[in-house]
């Protein structure tokens, strides 16, 4: 089990010096992974992006989340009867909780998303139809950098 320690100086700490580190905070893998597991169980890794949410949150000029935009990038879908102009939904679910591996003070550390399930749904006139479903495993390296007493 790894940990990351940050040492900072707090000038107003009773009995502490104004210069140099006088407080150290250790972040352990166990703390992070228990927090990530609780967030996963609470559904924090699950979301649905529908056409209305995409229009409200994506930058202006972004393609609409509908089958017209999908057919523009994959015209072969027209041959299977996919009609233009139907709204799409993209559902993302964390099938497994995220796990952090801290690799000592210098890092880089590893964030592993064991399984993200992505489902593309078409809101057809007859009801919602699953167009595609896939599962991804994602590993990302990251570093914690201390600058001016702050971690980033």
Say which residues have a Cβ less than 8 Å from residue 93's Cβ, sequence separation at least 6.
45, 46, 116, 117, 119
- Give per-residue pLDDT as tens, 39-53: 999 999 899 999 889
- What does the DSSP 8-state code read for residue 92? E
For residues 12-22, give the mean pLDDT. Answer: 56
Instruction: Give the integer Cα–Cα distance in Å for 87 and 111.
Output: 33
Per-residue tokens: 96: 């497994």
pTM: 0.69
Per-residue tokens: 67: 């089958």
Instruction: Report how far apart, in Å, the C-alpha atoms of 48 and of each of 39, 66, 85 are.
Output: 17, 14, 19
For residues 12-31, give the mean pLDDT. Answer: 64
Strand, helix or coil at 96?
A: coil
Pick from 119, 118, 111: which is nearest to 140 by CA? 111
Of 96 and 145, the structure prediction assigns the larger pLDDT to 96
For residues 32-43, give the mean pLDDT. Answer: 92
Pick from 144, 150, 137: which is nearest to 32 by CA? 144
Q: What pLDDT is attached to residue 137?
A: 92
Q: In this structure, what is the dihedral angle of CA atoms 152, 141, 135, 73, given to the nearest 10 degrees?
A: 80
Average pLDDT in the chain: 82
Q: What pLDDT is attached to residue 8?
A: 59
- Give per-residue pLDDT as tens, 120-149: 999 888 899 999 999 999 898 987 776 665
Dihedrals phi, psi of 89, to nearest 5 degrees: -130, 140
């Amino acid at each position: 089990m790894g940990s990351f320690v940050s040492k900072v100086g707090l000038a107003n700490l009773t009995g502490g010096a104004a210069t140099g580190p006088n407080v150290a905070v250790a972040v352990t893998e166990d703390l992070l992974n228990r927090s990530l597991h609780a967030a996963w169980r609470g559904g924090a890794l699950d979301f649905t992006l529908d056409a209305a949410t995409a229009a409200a949150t994506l930058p202006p000029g972004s393609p609409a989340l509908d089958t017209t935009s999908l057919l523009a990038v994959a015209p072969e879908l027209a041959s299977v009867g996919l009609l233009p102009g139907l709204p799409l939904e993209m559902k993302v679910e964390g099938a497994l909780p995220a796990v952090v591996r801290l690799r000592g003070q210098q890092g880089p550390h590893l964030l592993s998303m064991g399984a993200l399930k992505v489902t593309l749904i078409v809101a057809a006139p007859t009801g919602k139809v699953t167009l595609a479903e896939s599962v991804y495993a994602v590993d990302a390296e990251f570093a914690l950098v201390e600058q001016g007493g702050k971690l980033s």
